Amino acid sequence: MKRIVLVGAGHAHIVVLRHFALHKPNATLTLINDGAYAYYTGALPAAVRGDITPEQARIDVQKLATACGARFINARYTGFENNFANLDEAASVPFDTLAISVGAKSVPDGIKPIAKFFDRLRRWERLPAARLGIIGCGASGVELALALRARLNRNAKIYLQTGDGQVLPNAPRRVRDIARTELARARITLSKAIPYPLDDVIHAYAPAPNIAVRETLQLMEHDNIFATGDCAAFPNPLPNSGAIAVRQGRVLLHNLLANKMQKFRPPLATLAIMSLDSHKAVAWYGTDYISGWLPMLLKNWLDRRWLRS
């Protein structure tokens, strides 16, 4: 019986787990994750605003693995060698096929680990006038800045560093205009370089993926090892997107169980939804966009569906 080991509870691996729960393939499945819970980053802005609790934004991956018939190991993965997944302070795990979905590398003072980020948030709330800087003016940085404004008192100063670029550089021009309007309304200061001194600096950008893969999601030099999600580096870089990771999960599932490999074909465009506050969001697909309560309704539905699944 084939021994499949999954490292990390990324979107693609959730797809694999659900398939095993429904179809019970002739293989054993092990999930290794550093912690019994995994936060769903799509729900993070709602948790920062206080619309939901941090506990409502996370998945009980230990319970999920057990329900799907997989063995769960709570440990930190440190690498592989000779068909063994090595773990910190735990015995190595043998595998026939290994799949890695651990996200991009953490950056100092970043949003991850998310549990520690909420500790920082509670500290900022106790300050009479917190001064915070956010580095990264993509969707994550903009969404976080707006969520922090909703959470913190009016005296808090929030700065969003743009560097030499602009807010949401990869979004349509009209979406960038909407974002700038909302940031101005929320009194978020855009600056080429954030001013010091500050109470804290948050790095809200995704580091470059660091595991080179082929179109089949296999590592360059290992046919039985795969990587998906934000840690997987394709020859042509992909945007950080849960929708893309889910599509990778379908290809990964086939390639874990079949002899003939499928190739992952990235979509030409994916739907992006960025919350602006508790009641409205902006969504775009290619150059088309819509803003207001309707995309927020869709986002909330998609987030709840994923967490329930």
Q: Matching CATH topology for 2-105+207-257 and 114-205?
A: yes
Paired with 81 in beta bridges are 84
Measured in whole angstroms, the distance separating CA 226 from the mean position of its chain's CA atoms is 18
pLDDT at 176: 96
Q: What is the pTM of this model?
A: 0.89
Kindly tell me the burial class for residue 26, based on how many C-beta atoms sit within 10 Å of its own C-beta (0-12, 13-18, 19 or more). exposed
Ranges of the chain whose pLDDT falls below 50: none
The CATH topology of domain 114-205 is: FAD/NAD(P)-binding domain (3.50.50)
- Return the amino acid letter for 96: D
pLDDT at 259: 84
CA separation for the pair 242, 263 (Å, rounded): 18
Measured in whole angstroms, the distance separating CA 143 from the mean position of its chain's CA atoms is 14
Structural domain boundaries of the chain? 2-105+207-257, 114-205
pLDDT at 92: 93
Paired with 202 in beta bridges are 134
pLDDT at 284: 95
pLDDT at 122: 94
Question: Which tokens belong to 302?
Answer: 């998609």
Return the CATH superfamily for domain 2-105+207-257. FAD/NAD(P)-binding domain (3.50.50.60)
